[in-house]
């Protein structure tokens, strides 16, 4: 069994280390959409690639093992994974959801699910009392993103899952920001873990993909039914790219997390930065929870610049990171939540959540952190005092 090894080694020495048919040290890409059947009464394991494909299945097995779930599912995007998981709900169900959830999830819940009679309450998931207050007789799901985007608020996954179990609701956790290299929500009581594999899991800004891992076999059957019914499956080339990216997940994150820690401290000490959001800083309000439920604070941080003038000068002069949406790549990515990830959120809602017009989010890549610090420092030095 491969799980006698550590996570780091399991990334390489898992069931798909080599192809059993040829010994090839890379999962073969099976392009076939349909599969010849030898017997008119009993079909083989694969019949049609929406329903099952060996390349996609390899990725699904690898992620299931890494997240310590019973079954994995690969989708055409993170939003396809998330939306398909939401289809486990029915008309008249209610969702309690993190208030600073990913913009696309916010849009799905507030503008799509509502049309199908599924209601929601956005809450500050760091506040257990607020979660309890939000519970309704028809609450069927607690939807958690931790650390949250872009303010890196940390939710106690075990406490929320326990609360969900008390009322017979499910808990979904979007684990995109940390990946199973750092945090394993299913081991803390969650029922489904969701990923935008576009980010750290694939890691090279060259594929859009989503994953879901389920803990319980009965729930897994239900999600499989939905994956096959809705049909938003991941293509085989993209499944292969995610499998390749996964092999370096540990080394990439190890470097990026260390660099993020350095950068968080640099920003914390800079006079033109008014606030740093990073759960690895000892003064982060949920520092202890993060320490208890994850092995590090991850490679994403946000910081608020002193005012909009400082913000503009900084963005105009910074050179190394790409200025873009997305995160979790080999190159550092600087993004502007107000106009990018959270553009779908009305300004009033954004302001209420602390997503100001001078807030930037940084996903730290594989550059030498000293080069990044120099770049950021030079850009801030351009501000006229
Ligand atoms: C990017 C992202 C998503 C959406 O994933 P896509 O692959 O872009 O569809 C969902 N959740 C989080 C936290 C993300 O960062």
For the segment 80-103, what is each residue's pLDDT rounded down to a tens digit? Answer: 999 999 999 999 999 999 988 888
Say if ligand 1 is within 6 A of residue 196 CB: yes
Query: Given a cut of 90, is residue 350 above it in pLDDT?
Result: no
Q: Average of pLDDT values for 147-163?
A: 96
Residue 2 covered by a domain? no
Q: Average of pLDDT values for 172-200?
A: 98
CATH code: domain of residue 287? 3.90.1150.10
Residues 295 and 181 in one domain: no
Residues 67 and 204 in one domain: yes
Residues 236 and 346 in one domain: no
The reported pLDDT for the residue numbered 100 is: 83
d(CA 242, CA 60): 10
Say if ligand 1 is within 6 A of residue 78 CB: yes
Q: Average of pLDDT values for 112-119?
A: 98
The reported pLDDT for the residue numbered 291 is: 98
Protein residue with its CA nearest to atom 2 in ligand 1: 196
pTM across the whole model: 0.96
The CA angle 74-180-303, to the nearest 5 degrees, is 105
Q: Look at the chain and report how many structural domains it folds into.
A: 2
Residues 64 and 147 in one domain: yes
Residues 158 and 208 in one domain: yes
Residues 286 and 262 in one domain: yes
Residue 233 covered by a domain? yes
Query: Given a cut of 50, is residue 289 above it in pLDDT?
Result: yes
- CA of 249 from ligand 1 middle (Å) equals 17
Query: Given a cut of 60, is residue 2 above it in pLDDT?
Result: no
- CA of 325 from ligand 1 middle (Å) equals 10
Query: Given a cut of 70, is residue 185 above it in pLDDT?
Result: yes
Protein residue with its CA nearest to atom 1 in ligand 1: 196
Say if ligand 1 is within 6 A of residue 146 CB: no
Lowest mean pLDDT among 24-38, 78-92, 336-350: 336-350
Which domain covers residue 60, as residue numbers? Answer: 7-246
Residues 227 and 263 in one domain: no
Query: Given a cut of 90, is residue 303 above it in pLDDT?
Result: yes
Q: How confident is the model at residue 170 (pLDDT cuts 50, 70, 90)?
A: very high
Residues 231 and 299 in one domain: no
Residues 238 and 257 in one domain: no
The reported pLDDT for the residue numbered 343 is: 79
Q: How confident is the model at residue 1 (pLDDT cuts 50, 70, 90)?
A: very low
Residue 11 covered by a domain? yes
- CA of 78 from ligand 1 middle (Å) equals 5
Say if ligand 1 is within 6 A of residue 77 CB: yes
Say if ligand 1 is within 6 A of residue 210 CB: yes
Which of 74, 77, 102, when mutated, tests ligand 1's pocket best, judged by the most ligand atoms within 8 Å of its CB? Answer: 102
d(CA 189, CA 160): 9
CATH code: domain of residue 205? 3.40.640.10
- CA of 362 from ligand 1 middle (Å) equals 15
Residues annotated catalytic, as ranges: 50, 102, 174, 199
Q: How confident is the model at residue 3 (pLDDT cuts 50, 70, 90)?
A: low
Residues 32 and 153 in one domain: yes
Residue 314 covered by a domain? yes
């Amino acid at each position: 069994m491969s799980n006698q090894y550590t996570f780091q080694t399991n990334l390489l020495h898992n069931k798909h280390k080599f192809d059993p048919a040829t010994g090839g040290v890379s999962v073969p890409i099976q392009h076939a959409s349909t599969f010849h059947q030898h017997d008119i009464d009993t079909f083989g394991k694969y019949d049609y690639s929406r329903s099952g494909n060996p390349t996609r299945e390899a990725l699904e097995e690898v992620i299931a093992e890494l997240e310590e779930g019973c079954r994995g599912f690969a989708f055409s995007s993170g939003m396809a994974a998330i939306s398909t998981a939401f289809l486990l709900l029915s008309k008249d169900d209610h969702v309690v959801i993190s208030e600073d959830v990913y913009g696309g999830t916010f849009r799905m819940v507030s503008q799509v699910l509502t049309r199908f009679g599924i209601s929601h309450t956005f809450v500050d998931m760091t506040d257990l009392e607020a979660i309890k207050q939000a519970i309704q007789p028809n609450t069927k799901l607690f939807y958690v993103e931790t650390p949250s985007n872009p303010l890196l608020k940390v939710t106690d996954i075990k406490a929320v899952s326990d609360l969900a179990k008390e009322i017979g609701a499910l808990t979904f956790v979007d684990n995109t920001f940390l990946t199973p290299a750092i945090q394993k929500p299913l081991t803390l009581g969650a029922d489904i873990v969701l990923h935008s594999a576009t980010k750290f899991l694939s890691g090279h800004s060259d594929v859009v993909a989503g994953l879901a891992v389920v803990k319980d076999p009965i729930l897994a059957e239900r999600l499989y039914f939905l994956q096959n019914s809705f049909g938003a499956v991941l293509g085989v080339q993209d499944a292969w790219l995610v499998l390749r990216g996964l092999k370096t997940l540990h080394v990439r994150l190890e470097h990026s997390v260390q660099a993020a820690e350095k950068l968080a401290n640099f920003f914390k000490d800079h006079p033109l930065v008014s606030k740093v959001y990073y759960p690895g800083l000892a003064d982060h309000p949920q520092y202890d929870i993060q320490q208890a439920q994850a092995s590090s604070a991850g490679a994403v941080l946000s910081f608020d610049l002193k005012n909009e003038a400082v913000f503009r000068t900084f963005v105009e002069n910074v050179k190394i990171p790409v200025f873009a949406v997305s995160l979790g790549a080999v190159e550092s990515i600087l993004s502007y939540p107000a106009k990018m990830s959270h553009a779908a959120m009305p300004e009033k809602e954004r302001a209420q959540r602390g997503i100001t017009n001078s807030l930037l989010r940084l996903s730290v890549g594989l550059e030498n952190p000293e080069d990044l610090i120099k770049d950021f420092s030079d850009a801030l030095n351009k501000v006229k005092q």
